[in-house]
Structure 1
C-alpha cells in the first residue's frame, strides 16, 4: 500500500517534467557530435607494474609507468566527464626513453612499456563497450634516428634528412621521412591499415599533418576505409585557416585548428580581454572549409605549453578560467579536443614540463562542470550541427546564437570583472518567447520587443529559446484529476478499514 501511495504522490511531479524545453529528433551520430580527450599513455595511469623496467619517477624525462591497462581502468573517468572519443598518444615501439611515443623504431609493434597488443585490444574493446570511439596518434613525418630504415642502404631515398631537429626542440634529433617517395607512402598506408585491422580502432590523430605534402594525404586517405576518421594536427600555432582547408579537401576529415588556439587562449587567460578575433576566425572557417563543423578546436596539446600556465602567469584562479574557456570551446562550431589533465587544471611549460602525471584525487568542481556542459552538447543538436551567428561582443562579453531546425540556443559568456547586461532584439530570435538557462537557471522573457540577459562576472549561461512558461491548463487539469483520484483512494481505504473493524 505504501508503494501505491508514494506513486500517487510522485505522479504530479513526474507530469511536471513531461514537457521538455526541446525534443529534437535523435539523428545518426556523426563525427562532429564527438567531444575528444587526448591521453598521454605514460603519464595517465599505471595499471601494471610488470612493464615498468624503464620507469624512473625521479626523472621527468623518463617513463613514469602509465600503460594500456591503466588507461582501461580509468575509462569510466573519461566517460563520466562527457567525452565520446579517446585519442591515445603513439603506441608504437620506441627507442629507449621515448615515453612520448614519437621516437618510433617499429610501426608494427606496441611499446613494451605500455603493454601488449592484447592489452591494447582490451582497452579499445572496453572503450567501445562504453560507446567511446578510439583514435591513435600516428606520427608519419618523422621516426627515430635509430629506426632500422635509416640503416638500410636501399632506403636512402626514404628520407629527406636522417638527423634533424624539428620544431619541438625537446624531441631532439629525428629522421625526416620523404613523403613524396611512393614506397614510403605505400608503407605508411600499410601501417595505418594494420592497426585498424588488428586493434579495431576508429581512426587516427595525425601528428604534424601540415608538415606533409597535400599530395601525400590525397593518396593516404584514398587507401583507408571511408569510415576511418582522420584528424590532422597543424604543426604551426599561427597556420592560417585557408591552408588548413586544403588538407581537409585532400581527404583529412577534421583538422586541429591551430589558427584558433592562440587567440582563444588570449581571450580567456584573464578578464576583460579582446574577444573579437575568434568570431572572425569562426566565420572564415565557415566560408572556406568543406565541413566547418569538423574544425577541431583546442586550448593546448602535448606539444604546447598548457593553458593553465597562461592563467597562472596572470595571477588568476585556473578553475574559473577553464570553465569559461571550455564553455566557449564546447558551444562554438567545431569539435572540442581536450588534453588530459585539463580537468584538474594541470600546469606545465614546454616539453616534459607539459607532460605531468595525472592526479585522480582532486576537487571535482571543474570535472562536474565539464560533465554538465558535455551533457548539454550531446543533448542539443544546435551545438554540434547548428548555424553560428554572433549577436554581441565587447571586451570579454560575448553572446552568440546556434540554430538547428526548430532548436535555437543562445550562449552568453561574461569574461569581465563586472556584471553585464545585454539586450537582444526579438527580431533576432522570436516574439513572445523566453530564454531558459540550462546551466544556472537564468530566465529572460521577451518584453517590449527585446530580451535582456544579465550575467554576473566570470559566469556563463546556455539558453534554450522556448515558449513562455505560464499557466498550463492541461497540466492543472491533470493535477486536479490526480488529487481527486488520490482523495477517492484514501476514502475507499478508510471505508474498508472501518468495515473490517
Structure 2
C-alpha cells in the first residue's frame, strides 16, 4: 500500500508539473458546435484585439460581444492573437525595429502576421484564461469564434527556425527566404511532411484546448490544396469547424473551405463609385457566380477589412457618400456580409498596422443601419446566403447601367433591392408592380410598371 501511495503521489506531481508548464486545461465541449445551416443568415465580424479598445485586451472586447449579437453577428473572426516575433519586426513600411531608436521601440508592436509561437497569446492581450472567457461569452450569445491562422510563414525568431530549419524554404544559396517583400517573416516549406504535421497539431491545439470553432486562413492560395483538404478533414474529426480562406479560389471550396473572400465584387464596388465600372459590371459578375460556380459556394462580401482599411483607405475614402448603399448591398446580395471593427462606429481613419491604435466608440449613423440590416438578414429567409441560399433574379430597369434592381426569394418570402449606383439623380422605370413596405424607413411604396420613379444619387430601397 505504501508503495502504491508513493507511486500515486509521484504521478500527481508529474501531472501537476505538466499542467503548470502548459498553463492550460482541456475545455470540454460546450454543446455549442458549428452548424452550417446557421450560416444562411449570418453576419461575420472581424476584430483586431490590439486596436479595438484603449486597453487592447481580450476582456475589453468580451464586454461588447452582446452588442455584436444585436448586429446579427454569428461569427467573430479574431485577427492573429499570437505573440509577434521581435527579430526583423516591422516598425512602419519597410523599416524594421532594428532601425528605430531604443527609446521609441516600445510603441511598435509589429505585424500580427509575424507569429513567434502558434500556441501563445500576445501578453498585452491578457491570458489564455481571458481568451477562454471570450470564447465562452461568444458561445453563450450564440456566436462562433474563429482564429486568424498564418500557415504560410513564421517570424524569424519562431523556435522552428533554429530547431527545425528544414521546415523553411531556401534559395539557391541555401538561405531561408521571405515570401514576397515581407521581410519580417520566413517562408515555410510545404514539401516537408514533418512541418505539415507540426502545423496541423498547432491548429488542433486551439480547437481541443480552447474550444474555438474554426479558422480564417491567411493567404490560403499560397499553401498546397492537399494540405487544406487533409487539415479540414482532421479538424472536423474533433468537432465541426468553419473554414474561411483569404482567397477567391472556388476549387479550394470543394473539400476544405466553407467560405471565400469576395475580392472581385469588392473591387467592383470601389470602381463603381469612382466611375470606372457600372452596374453592368456587377451584373456580369453575378452572372458568372451564378452559372460557373457550385451552388453551395459562399462568398464573404465586404466594404472594408484590416488590409483595405490600413493600406488602401477607409471605406469613406474609397466609397464616399455611397458607404451606406454598398453596406446595404453587401447584406442583401448572395453571400455573408462582413463588418470590420469600427465600421459600426462610422470608422473614418486608417488604423495603424504595426503600432497600437484605437478608434472612437461613439455611435453615429451606421450603428442603427447595421442593426436594421442585421435584423433583416436574420429574420427574412429571402436573404439566406449560405450553402442553401435564396434565389437571385435581376429585375430589368430603363437604366440598367446605373440602376441595380434584384429580387431574392425563398419558400415564398421575397426581398427586393433597388439602388441608384451613380452620382446623379435618375428618373427611371422598373419592371415591378405592386404595393410594398420600404424596410429601412417603414414607408409604403406603390410600383406600376409604366410609372417612372425618381432616385437620388446613391439612394437605395429595400422592399418587403
* Match of residue 323 from structure 1: 324
- Equivalent position SS for 2:338: strand
- Equivalent position SS for 1:37: strand
- Equivalent position SS for 1:424: coil
- Equivalent position SS for 2:418: strand
Alignment coverage as a number of residue pairs: 397
Displacement of 1:83 after TM fit?
2.0
* Match of residue 304 from structure 1: 308
* Match of residue 138 from structure 1: 149
Structure 1 unmatched ranges of 5 or more? 1-26, 47-64, 235-240, 465-501
Computed over aligned residues only, the root mean square deviation of the Cα atoms, in angstroms, reads 2.9
User: Does 1:227 find its partner at 2:240?
Assistant: yes
Q: Deviations over 1:306-333 (max 9, x none)?
A: 599366557x8x4x42211100111111
CA distance in 1, matches of 2:191, 2:168: 10
* Match of residue 371 from structure 2: 371
Q: Deviations over 1:269-300 (max 9, x none)?
A: x5796222223223322233334552111223
Higher normalized contact order (CA 8 Å, seq sep 6+, divided by chain length)? 2
Structure 2 unmatched ranges of 5 or more? 1-34, 87-107
Cα 1:399–1:311, aligned 2, differ >3 Å: closer, same or farther? same
Displacement of 1:177 after TM fit?
1.0
CA contact (8 A) 1:202 1:228 kept: yes
- Between structure 1 and structure 2, the one with the greater Rg is 1
Displacement of 1:77 after TM fit?
3.2
* Match of residue 80 from structure 2: 90
User: Does 1:187 find its partner at 2:195?
Assistant: no
* Match of residue 463 from structure 2: 463
CA contact (8 A) 1:31 1:294 kept: no
Q: Deviations over 1:232-266 (max 9, x none)?
A: 002xxxxxx6xx11111141111112222211222
CA contact (8 A) 1:37 1:87 kept: yes
CA contact (8 A) 2:179 2:186 kept: no
CA distance in 1, matches of 2:192, 2:451: 60
* Match of residue 414 from structure 1: 420
Cα 1:381–1:452, aligned 2, differ >3 Å: closer, same or farther? farther
Q: Deviations over 1:154-196 (max 9, x none)?
A: x3331114754445x5x53311111232222222221121101
Q: Deviations over 1:410-439 (max 9, x none)?
A: 10112334443443335xxxx7x4222111
Displacement of 1:353 after TM fit?
8.1
TM norm structure 2? 0.77
CA contact (8 A) 1:245 1:288 kept: no
Q: Deviations over 1:344-364 (max 9, x none)?
A: 34345596289841211x242
1:253 corresponds, among 247, 255, 258, to 258
Cα 1:355–1:274, aligned 2, differ >3 Å: closer, same or farther? farther
CA distance in 2, matches of 1:113, 1:191: 21
Q: Which aligned pairs between 1:343-422 and structure 2 lie closer than 5 A? A: 343-348=344-349, 352=353, 356-360=357-361, 362-384=362-384, 385-392=389-396, 394-422=400-428
CA contact (8 A) 1:214 1:250 kept: no
TM norm structure 1? 0.72
Displacement of 1:446 after TM fit?
5.2
* Match of residue 66 from structure 1: 56
CA distance in 1, matches of 2:195, 2:218: 17
* Match of residue 17 from structure 1: none
